[in-house]
Amino acid sequence: MSEYIPSPTDWVREQVEVYEGSGGTDGTTLRDTGLPVIIVTNRGNRTGAIRKTPLMRVKDADNYILVGSRGGAPTNPVWVYNLRADGSVQIRDGTAVYDMRVREVDDAEERARLWDVAVAAFPPYEDYRNRTERVIPVFVAEPA
């Protein structure tokens, strides 16, 4: 079992602690928005360590859509590179935990459809897209 390295960002690390520590009954929304969050567990592509990243819960049938928005910051979140290197993840959605396989969405049509699904779940994604020059990475997590 590899070492778990918590996020260096206080509020993110704290959300993971409360969410996982409660078994998925507490800390499951983004601050006071009431909008649901999932926890993605994967490996770091350099350290091989276990990483845990809260993301907004965007569902498309049985799949989860992962959006690398990072609030519209100019650079991609690091987890994007981890998932490109190794697409094997666990997703915690409340009290349920699933083994899933992640792939990045390149096809323009698929991306456009999934982007709309993501914005319907979390409208600020559209502001984040307008705020940044980069193309925000979108991944699909499918049951492994």
Binder among 20, 78, 124, 126 for ligand F42 (CB under 6 A): 78
By the rule CB under 6 A, 132 interacts with ligand F42: no
Collapsed DSSP state (helix, strand, coil) of residue 76: coil
For residue 120, count other CB atoms closer than 10 A to its CB.
10
Q: Are 27 and 15 in contact (CB under 8 A)?
A: yes
Give the C-alpha separation, 102 to 139, whole Å. 6
How far is CA 51 from its chain centroid? 11
Q: What is the smallest separation between the CB atom of 31 and ligand F42, expressed in angstroms?
A: 8
Closer of 49 and 97 to ligand F42 (Cβ): 49
Does 37 bind ligand F42 (CB under 6 A)? Our answer is yes
CB of 108 to ligand F42, least distance (A): 21
* Lookup: tokens for 86: 């190794």
The residue within the footprint of ligand F42, chosen from 64, 79, 115, 139 (CB under 6 A), is 79
Min dist. Cβ of residue 60 to ligand F42 (A) = 15
CA distance 121 to 25: 20
Number of residues that bind ligand F42 (CB under 6 A): 26
Joined together, the tokens standing for residue 77 give 């979140």
List of residues contacting ligand F42 (CB under 6 A): 7-9, 12, 15, 30, 37, 44-47, 49, 51, 53-56, 67-70, 77-79, 81-82
